[in-house]
Amino acid sequence: MKSLLITTLICALAEMLNAQVKTDFNNGEQIGTRGKYSKNFRGKNPYVIPARDIKVLLRQDSLEILSSKAIPFKIAKALPVNINVVKEAEWVEEDGMAYGKFTLMAASAKSVSANFDQFFLPEGTELYVYSQNGEMITGPVTEKENNENSLWGTWVYKGGFLTIDLKTPIVTKSNLNLHISSIAYGFKDIYEERVANFGESEACNVNVICAGTAWENERNSVALILDANSEALCSGVLVNNTCNLNIPYLLTANHCFETNPQQNVAHWKFTFQAWSPTCTPSQNANGVTFNGSTLRARNAASDFCLVELSQMPPANSNITFAGWNRSNVAAPNATGIHHPNGDVMKISQDNDPIVRSGGGFFNNATHWEVRWNSGITAVGSSGSPLFDNNRRIIGQLHGGTSFCSTPTDPDWYGSFDQSWTGGGTNATRLSNWLDPSNIGSMTTNSRAIMSVTGPTLICTTGSFALQNPPVGLPVVWSSSNQAILTIDPSSGVAVRQSNQSGQVTIAATLNAGCGSSIEKNVWVGDPSLTYVPPGPNPCTSNPYYYGPPTEGLSYQWTIDNPNVWLVTPSTSVFATVLSHDPEYFNLTLTISDGTCSTSTTLFSYTDGYYCQCFFPPCGGGFLRFAVSPNPASSQVEIRFDEKEYEKEVKKFNAVNYSVGLIDERGNALSEINISDKSYKWDTSKLPAGTYYLKIKYRDLTETKRVIINH
C-alpha cells in the first residue's frame, strides 16, 4: 500500500522575532571560488563525505515502505559528523569584518543538507548556504535565527556540494558558534526535471497555481516539512484558532512523528509557498523556511499531530492561517493541497460527496474517504489538509491507494471532528489549543496574519491600526502604561502624557473573552541611548551605542577636531574613526526622528592612537608612523618610529613599506616603496584639499588623513 508523509509546525508568539529565511531555487548568480562576498580565498579543499551505495539505500527504503502502511517520504540518510565550521572554514579579514568560506562534498549524493546542534550568530553576522555554483542559495541568515535550543538546519540542496559563506564583525567573531552534527546524504533526486512536470511526483498531479486565485488563501497556509534529521518530507497546514490569535499552530499527521518518536521536533524545518510560478510547464519553486517547533498534541486514532512553530511568520509574508470545520457532516465535495514526493505544491479535487471510511486499513469512524476527479496524492503528501466546499480544513492525510494509473482509488484523511476531542486530554486533542477560551465555535475561516502598524517612536501623538483584522470583529485598543501614553480604545490614536519617556506596549484586542491581543512595542519621548564605555585603548576596547536601532530614526555623528577623520552613514549605529598622531577629539551621537532627538557625547580622547579604529570593531594595527606637518603646504614627511624601525631592521635586516596617496574621492594618485625610516613627499603641486596616505607594512595597514593648504 502507498504510504503518505506528515508534517509538523511549531508555533511562535506574536512578539517573537519575525525571522524567515528565503531560498532561491533558481538563482541566476554564478558563485565561484571567491564565494558570495568575492574574497581572495586560497581555495581550501572541500570537507569530503565518502560516497554511499545508493542502490543499497534505495533497497532499504523499499523494504521500509512495504513493512508499513503509512510512513514519511524518505529522501536521504543522516550521517553523523563532527564539523566545527568556524575552525574548518577559510578566513579573510578586511575593514573590521571577517569573511569565512566552508565547503563540503557528499560524494555521488543526489542532494545534501546540514543539521547544526550548535548555532549562534553574533549581531551583524550574515550567513549564506548554497549548492555548487550557487544554483540554489539560502540567505541572508542573521542573528534572528538564534534560538534557545541552539539548533538550526539548512534546506535540501541539489547535488552533493554545500557551501557556507560568512560575514561577521572581527570583534565578535569569537562568539560565532557553528557545529554540524549530521549531514543528510540524499539518495533520491527530488529535483529531477522531466518534460511534463518538475520533480518526482507523477504527471497527473496538478500544480496549485492552475487553480488561479480560488485557493490563494489556503495554499499560503500549506507547508512542506523536513524532519529533524533532514531525511524525510511531509506536508502540513497552519491552522487558525477561535480567538484569531497569531499562534503558529501547524497540523500534520501523527505517523510522521511516530516513525521516529525520538526525533527532536525542535529541529524540524518548514517551507511555505513552494509552488511552481507557472501552471505548465512546471518549474522549481522558491520558498520561505522556518526552523524549529514544539509538540503540542497528537493522537494515533485520527492520525493527527499539532506543533507550534518557533518563529512567527511576519504579516507581510502573505502566509495565512487556514480555517477549519469540526462538524461530522460529510462535505458535498473536497479539495486537497499537498507536496507529493516533495514536489512543488499540488491540488487534488473530489467533486462528489465524501464518506466515512477507513477502507479496512483505518478506523471507519475516524476517517474521511475521497476519490479524486483531478490529481492524486503520494508519499510526501502525508499530513496535508483536506478542505470542504467552504475552504475549511476537515482532515489531514493518513494514507491511500491513488496513483495516476488508478486515480479513483481511495485516499483517507483523519477527520478533524475526531481529532477535536481526540484521546480526551490536552496532549491528545485539538480543542485545548485551537479553542483556548472554550468559545465552542464549530468553524473558523482562513485569514491573514495580523499585525499592529504605526510609529515605533512617538514624540507627541501617533496613530495605530490593525493589519488584516477578521471581518466583523471590533478592535479595542489599550496602552500598557497610561501615565506615559494614552490611546483611544476605538480609534487607535495615542497621546504622550506629561512629557514622560519610556517603552510602552500597544495592544489590539479582538475578543475580550480570549484574554490575549496583538501587540506592538513603541518608544515614547526622546530616543534612548545605551552606552558601554570603551577601555583605555579605543583600538582594542570598543564602545557600543544604539538607539536601539529603530526604523525611522537617523543617527548623526559629529567630531570636533578637523584633523580627525570621521566616516559613517547617518543610518549607522556605529562610528568609524581614523585618528593619527597625538590628537584629541570628542565624538558625539545624536539620534532623531525629525522631531524628538537626543544628543550624547560618547567619549573624549586627549591622546591620539596610531591605528585605524572601527567602533566596533577596531581594525588596522599599531603602525608607528607619524605624518607632519599636517596641514601641509610644500611637503609632508612620513616618519617610521625610530625605536620600532631599529627593532624591525634588527629582526628582518631591512624594512620595506609602501605609501599610497589617495584623494578625497578615493582615487589612487600614486604609490611608492620606501626602505628608509623617513620620506619627504612633495605636495607643492597638489591642489589644496584633503588626502589620505595609505601605509602598508607586512600584514598591517594604516590610513592617515592629510590636509594640503597653499
Which active-site residues does the annotation give? 255, 303, 382
Q: Map grid coordinates 499560503 to a residue.
A: 220
On the 0-12 / 13-18 / 19+ scale of CB atoms within 10 A, 234 is buried
Q: Taking CA 521 as the corner, what is the angle to CA 515 and CA 525, rounded to the nearest 5 degrees? A: 130
Q: Which residue, among 677, 663, 668, 672, has the nearest Cα to 705 in the 3D structure? A: 663
Asked if 293 and 251 touch (Cβ cutoff 8 Å), the reply is no
Nine cell digits for residue 490 = 476605538
CA distance 248 to 240: 8
Non-local (6+) Cβ contacts of 211 within 8 A are 347
Is the CB of residue 194 less than 8 Å from the CB of residue 341? no
Cα 453 to Cα 468: distance, rounded to the nearest angstrom: 10
Consecutive H or E run containing 216: helix 216-219
- Within a 13 Å sphere around the CA of 378, how many CA atoms are in the beta-carbon half? 25
- Cβ pair 319, 288 in contact under 8 A: yes
Compute φ and ψ for 336, nearest 5 degrees. -115, 140
- ∠ CA 590-594-597, nearest 5°, is 35
Q: What are phi and psi of 462, to 5 degrees?
A: -160, 155
- The backbone region for 139, taken as left when phi is positive above 0, alpha when psi lies in -120 to 50, beta otherwise, is left
The angle at the Cα of 659, spanning 654 to 662, to the nearest 5 degrees, equals 175
Site of grid cell 508519499: 379
